[in-house]
A and B are shown apart, each in its own frame.
Chain A
């Protein structure tokens, strides 16, 4: 016989009450663990949506290029930079881009636009631009005259499939750069910057127009969006002469939404824990008051206050332990289950799109879960133990003779 066994048997006296107290911890831990998985799912989906279309999860440029983009500021040592990025185990694919701002002319109209030259073979592995074609076809590396426009730009220039376009800007060598293209496709990406102000061409077509051989930007897709920042830091160390940024830097709004989501998840955890503390405290106070005589007897027989204190504390710790165990199991199972089936929120798609959530969320075991499951387990257990402290102190302070007179 030991104190743990006594505590276990005490918990067995009123199993319904013990189950009720433990279920409060189970509920708090389970729901919070699940929320962490849900947040991981939302984050992965938001980042995926935000990065996969065009901007990618990693970008490499010459330092300062984004503050003041100049046609001549191409990446030095392009081939070795491409190899270094592609070699990183966290990188799935990388593609170079050539960029320039200038004037684009249709048969009748003209407007300011940016021209982006793509290497189609690697671009299709890195982004989903090729899936946004609504009319005609996507670019082909062998067709250096091919161009894509969005519906906005097509309307401004009054062009359709097969129409000719001319792009004029300052070339890398200072001369006037001119590119002649034919509209091969119309893309509908949903991104106003792309649909209204961008002319997509092949890398060959862009280089020819700009009289350059390199590229201004490398865009990469990582195997795990949450590892992008670390990968960027690692690559930056390898390529000190270049600027390597992850989506966390250049897709600031997504990052802010994620931080808000995490703050929300941890606020929920806090509220649930407070509810659990109140519930367990209540149960323990009732349990201790019912046993006042027995505790008085123990102390009359020579048990010190600290032993009685410990017995009550062990009981609440056991409630917490089982609650955390079951709750974490339930939370993990829910994540695994809904991770497969997805949670369809399309009925509220109007509202949830406003906060950047996808129509179907697939909860997953990501960084929020990894951090949250440990924090939840520790916090729930600590909350359960804390809940027992007040009643335990009350029990330890009992005067044995007086306690034994109580009914």
Chain B
């Protein structure tokens, strides 16, 4: 059984009576440990798909089963708990909490999980050290570059050993060298910790780093290519 099973997923937004379909019937399976890019032009439905898998949004119809759980059956608080336990997020921007230090941001999800402080610190230090970010432990987000901030976001996303990490255009605001570095880091974390990575992008360079690329257009999967 796949880690993520999506069947005939549809999502339509309506605004003042005008309906805008974002997903028109997606069928997709993601296995545990994958490092997969959801690619496609703007408006193809990448963010909507990731939001629904992440429990941030609900589908109009169809089913999304993650780790054996049908997300449509979960209440608001159960969805929050699902996000807390099973998902790690990396967003495009405004990813970190301004008033927290690097270490505090990285351990934020562990704090929500009520993990003891010593355990949180040890786990975060291990990850930040593996990323070469240990010296920035006590820096605030505004003291870090965009690439460093995204690295901290990745650290936060994997700190609690989630089943999947969802990254929505994580390299959109980075230059190509930094973007490549971040992708290499994500892949290293994918290999080191066995976490499933699912990220959206419209950047060809980023797609090349993925092991599998799922191409969306107008809310439909138009291509599903696997690489070794």
Contact = CB atoms under 8 A, between A and B. Distances in A.
A307 B80 CA distance: 12
B128 to A, nearest CB: 16
A393 to B, nearest CB: 15
Contact of A304 (B57, B77, B87, B107): B77
Nearest to B83: A302
A404 interface: yes
B95 A297 contact: yes
A220 interface: no
Nearest to B92: A404
A52 interface: no
B144 interface: no
Interface string A275-311: 0000000000000000001100111111111010000
A400 interface: yes
A304 B94 CA distance: 19
A297 B91 contact: yes
B180 interface: no
B77 A301 contact: no
Among A13, A300, A303, find the residue whose CB has the most chain B CB atoms closer than 10 A: A300
Among B51, B77, B83, B97, find the residue whose CB has the most chain A CB atoms closer than 10 A: B97
Nearest to B117: A1
B100 A1 contact: yes
A401 B109 CA distance: 17
Contacts of A13: 98-99
Given A401-B51, A401-B57, A301 B98 contact: no
A293 B84 contact: no
A9 interface: yes
B108 interface: yes
Among A6, A12, A305, A307, find the residue whose CB has the most chain B CB atoms closer than 10 A: A6
Contacts of B109: 301-302
Contacts, number: 58
Contacts of B56: 300, 400-401
Interface in A239-294: 293-294
B125 interface: no
Contacts of B54: 300
A152 B66 CA distance: 102
Interface string A367-407: 00000000000000000000000000000000011001000
Interface in B88-142: 89, 91, 94-95, 97-100, 104, 107-109, 111-113, 117
B91 to A, nearest CB: 7
Tell me whether chain A's interface is mostly helix, strand or loop, or mixed. Answer: helix
A1 B111 contact: yes
A10 interface: yes
Contacts of A303: 80, 84, 112
A307 B112 contact: yes
Contacts of A293: 94
A404 B94 contact: yes
| Interface range, B side | 20 to 34
A63 B77 CA distance: 73
A10 B91 CA distance: 22
Nearest to A406: B94
B89 A300 contact: yes
Interface string B40-63: 000000000001001011000000
Contacts of B99: 6, 9-10, 12-13
A219 to B, nearest CB: 68
B125 to A, nearest CB: 14
Given A1-B107, A1-B111, A401-B57, A302 B94 contact: no
Nearest to B160: A302
A302 to B, nearest CB: 3
B54 to A, nearest CB: 8
B24 interface: no
A141 B228 CA distance: 121
B85 interface: yes
A298 B51 CA distance: 15
A26 to B, nearest CB: 24
Nearest to B107: A1
Contacts of B67: none
Interface in B132-176: 156
Nearest to B99: A9
Among B98, B99, B108, find the residue whose CB has the most chain A CB atoms closer than 10 A: B99
Contact of B83 (A294, A301, A305): A301
A301 B111 CA distance: 11
B112 A294 contact: no
B218 interface: no
Among A1, A297, A305, find the residue whose CB has the most chain B CB atoms closer than 10 A: A1
A251 B57 CA distance: 73
Interface in A6-26: 6, 9-10, 12-13
Interface in A181-239: none
A12 B99 CA distance: 9
7 shortest A-B CB distances, which residue pairs?
A302-B84, A9-B99, A401-B56, A302-B83, A1-B104, A304-B80, A401-B57
Interface of B: 51, 54, 56-57, 77, 80-81, 83-85, 87, 89, 91, 94-95, 97-100, 104, 107-109, 111-113, 117, 156
Given A1-B117, A302-B81, 8 more contacts: A1-B104, A1-B111, A9-B99, A13-B98, A300-B89, A300-B91, A301-B109, A400-B56
16 contacts: A1-B100, A1-B111, A10-B99, A293-B94, A294-B97, A294-B98, A297-B97, A300-B56, A301-B108, A301-B156, A302-B81, A302-B83, A302-B84, A304-B80, A305-B80, A401-B57
